[in-house]
Amino acid sequence: MKKLFAKHNNWFFKAGFILTAVMVGVVLLGQIWTPYDPNAMDASVKAQGPTLRHLLGTDFFGRDILSRILEGAGATLQIAFFVVLIGAVFGTVIGALTGYFGGVVDEVLMRICDAITAFPSVLLALIAIAVIGPGRLNVIMVLGCVFIPSFARIVRAEFVRIKRLNYISLARLQGVGDFRIMLKHILPNTLPTLLPAISIGFNNAVLAEASMSFLGVGVSASEVSLGRMLSDSQNYILRGLPWYAVFVGLTIALLILGFSLLAEGLQQRR
């Protein structure tokens, strides 16, 4: 960790790290404690703007928006985490194997990956959800699968590049086996590329989940998520009460911004 800071001592990384840490920290805190019960309705404070008691205002049912945002952000981050986990782990395995061994399997798999990455991920996920139905688990599975090809591509390119380098040839000469080479010799050298990709992955996962839930094809209607809340907030705008939408949108935007800055910072040196 300290090494990361030393290597990437630029503004983007610092800003991104702080923003991400703050956002994630707040959301994690929100899992144990929120100012109010996100589902508690209080008729006396219906549809209010930000006040001292309700820092981000209330909705039509008198529910505290800040608490709901915390809960929704928790769901969104949880989904994003598993999506990136699935995408990165499977993508790395596939990319490593195809990049190192090549062959017909490599050609075929890469064509498939190219076809999948040609499509905007939200579109693919949308269609898949249309088939299997909404719900948190479904979203994770679908988005996870949609993310695998892009990770695979990145890791494969690195493996193809690195396996030709002298120090790998030397390792083979010394009798190091293929899998050990892949895992211990090549993989650590792919981190400078993999880490920003993971950060961008979070970026895209949050965006995708929010978009999908917004459209109603993400988490199911009874579950809370930032996207769903954003969709609900549309009604509020029409009646001239914009703060709900702005706050939810701002939360999403800040989450994404944090990851995006972090990714940019990881790609730059200084």
Partner 1 sequence: MNKILEVKHVSASYTTQGNAFAREKVQIVLHDVSFDLYEGEALGLVGESGSGKTTVARAILGFLPRYEGEIIHHSKRPQLIFQDPYTSLNPARTVGWILEEPLKVYGKFDAPERRRRIIEMLENVGLSEEYMSRRPSELSGGQRQRVSIAAALIVRPRLVIADEPVSALDVTIQAQILQLLDEMREKYGLSYLFISHDMNVVYQLCDRVIVMKKGVIVEDAPIDDIFDHPQHPYTRELVEASR
Partner 2 sequence: MKFVLKKLATLLITLLILSFLAYAAFEMVGDPVGMILGTNATPEAEAALREELGLNRSLPVRYFDWLFHFVKGDMGTSYIYRISVNEMIGEKLGLTVILTLFGFGLTLLMSIPLGVYSARREGSFADRALTVSNQIVMAIPAFFVAILLTVIFGVLLRLFTPGSFVSFNESPGRFFLYMLFPALSVAIPRTAMAAKMLRSSILGEMQKDYVRTAFSRGHNRRSALRAHALKNALLPIVAFLATTAAEMLAGCIVIEQIFSLPGIGRLLIASINNRDIPVVEAIVMILAVWVMVVHFFGEVISEALDPRLRS
Site stretch for partner 2 (CB under 8 A), options 101-109, 120-128, 175-183, 185-193: 120-128
The three-state secondary structure class of 58 is strand
Among partner 1, partner 2, none, the one that 264 touches (CB under a kind-dependent 5 to 8 A) is partner 2
Site string for partner 1, 139-178 (x = CB under 8 A): --------------------------xxx-xxx-xxxxx-
DSSP result, 91-146: HHHHHHHHHHH-HHHHHHHHHHHHHHHHS-HHHHHHHHHHHH--SHHHHHHHHHHH
Q: Distance between CA atoms of 51 and 102, rounded to whole angstroms?
A: 61
Select from 9, 39, 169, 234 the one that contacts partner 2 (CB under 8 A): 234
Select from 78, 189, 193, 220 the one that contacts partner 1 (CB under 8 A): 189
Residue 18 binding partner 2, by CB under 8 A: no
For residues 12 and 151, which CB has a smaller minimum distance to partner 2 in the complex? Answer: 12
Burial class (CB in 10 A: 0-12, 13-18, 19+), 130: exposed
Q: Distance between CA atoms of 261 and 8, rounded to whole angstroms?
A: 12
Among partner 1, partner 2, none, the one that 166 touches (CB under a kind-dependent 5 to 8 A) is partner 1
Site stretch for partner 1 (CB under 8 A), options 20-28, 136-144, 179-187, 243-251: 179-187
Instruction: At 258, list the tokens.
Output: 């944090």
Angle at 116 between CA 110 and CA 118, to 5 degrees: 100
Select from 5, 9, 11, 137 the one that contacts partner 2 (CB under 8 A): 11
Residue 255 CA: distances (Å) to CA of 20, 23, 73, 210 = 7, 6, 9, 11
**φ and ψ at 9, to 5 degrees?**
-85, 50
Secondary structure letter of residue 56 according to DSSP: T
Among partner 2, partner 1, none, the one that 176 touches (CB under a kind-dependent 5 to 8 A) is partner 1
Residue 183 binding partner 1, by CB under 8 A: no
Report how many residues bind partner 1 under the rule CB under 8 A. Answer: 17
Among partner 2, partner 1, none, the one that 35 touches (CB under a kind-dependent 5 to 8 A) is none
Q: How far is the CB of 195 from partner 2 (least distance, A)?
A: 17
3-state helix, strand, coil in the chain (%, to 5): 75, 0, 20
Residue 193 binding partner 1, by CB under 8 A: no
Instruction: Give, as ranges, the residues between 174 and 233 that touch partner 2 (CB under 8 A).
Output: 203, 207, 210-211, 214-217, 230-231
Q: How far is the CB of 51 from partner 2 (least distance, A)?
A: 20
Q: Distance between CA atoms of 103 and 23, rounded to whole angstroms?
A: 44
Residue 82 CA: distances (Å) to CA of 3, 69, 145, 147 = 26, 20, 11, 11
Residue 269 binding partner 1, by CB under 8 A: no
Positions that interact with partner 1 (CB under 8 A): 165-167, 169-171, 173-177, 180, 184-185, 188-189, 191
